[in-house]
Amino acid sequence: MRRLLRPRMIAAALALAVPAVLLAAPAYADPVGQTSGFYVNPNSSPAAWVAANPGDGRAAAIRAQIAQKPMASWFGNWSGDIAGAVSRYVGAADAADKLPLLVAYNIPGRDACGGHSGGGAGSVGAYDSWIASFAAAIGNRPAVVVLEPDSLGDFSCMSQAQINERLGMLSRAAGQFRAKAPNTWAYLDAGNPGWIDASTMAQRLNMAGVAGAHGFALNVSNYFTTGDNVNYGNRVASALRGYGYTKPFVIDTSRNGNGSNGQWCNPGGRRIGTPSQLGGGAEMLLWLKTPGESDGNCGVGAGSSAGQFLPEVAYKMIFGY
């Protein structure tokens, strides 16, 4: 039997940390209160590298500062049987009484304008089936899911018909988690402070069905400071009031310890940020991108592919150089 909820502890933490503008969000089942903390994936890419390279001089720092921290696991067309992959991951977290962090990254035309992480499901129908299986595989177990990084910022090279298709897919995806994963908090990705202005992002979130999701996610795989994201998130949440509701947000702090230098693809000199926690100016601060995993064949990751773990980059991120 799952351990008893800790509603007073969670409510107190969120009341202290979350701006009042966010506290009016609709009530959902609370996956945080059902678990004893965030799940640390023993099979993450930094953990696998440390296990395979115990004698490397960088291994101890990468183990302690990255591999042993809670971070999200990403699921896409590389995951094979999505129902099995998600069920195994969420099941392992559930057995440990921990809260798993997942990122769904398989929308057709993924990273259409950036190009380094292109791919995704082959059709609208294929995506609808994939995300339905994803949600069903979580079932009643507690989880946090971020839906489709870049999907609402990446419009500049898309036709209106493609945009409309994407908005429909995201809206249906949010509905799948509400219907099939009642103990999951699903967040639609909402870009970052340097991409789309807050009122436009709120409009896009509304069209993408954020009313049916728990909230929105900021700074995924980017570097903007937590303070910049809190300010932006509050503006987006305030703009959503124009549609008759507001929503909480989470911030990816995995690589924002030194802030942004204006580049997004493997910039040098970045640093890991605050580890996953409740509050911090948002509903949660989360490590959504794995520190040390490449953004693609660019910057300090030249010659690598998106998602490849680069130990030297990870090591430098620990110390900020």
CA-closest candidate to residue 31, choices 50, 6, 68, 61? 6
Catalytic residue among 94, 111, 150, 252: 150
Written as six digits, the tokens of 103 are 């990122």
How far is residue 281's CA from residue 230's CA, in Å, rounded to a whole number?
A: 6
Which of 72, 70, 46, 74 is CA-nearest to residue 60? 46
Counts of helices then strands in the chain (DSSP H, E): 9, 8
3-state secondary structure 166-202: HHHHHHHHHHHHHHHCCCEEEEEECCCCCCCCHHHHH
Q: Is the distance from CB of 190 to CB of 236 less than 8 angstroms? A: yes
Cα-atom radius of gyration of the chain, to the nearest Å? 18
**C-alpha–C-alpha distance, residues 318 and 321, integer Å:** 8
Name the nearest CA neighbour of 173 among 230, 108, 237.
Answer: 108
Whether residue 150 lies in the annotated active site: yes
β-strands 143-147, 184-189 pairing: parallel
Decide: helix, strand or coil at residue 127.
helix
Beta strand 284-286 pairing with 277-278: antiparallel
Pick from 304, 28, 298, 66: which is nearest to 178 by CA?
A: 28
Active-site positions?
150
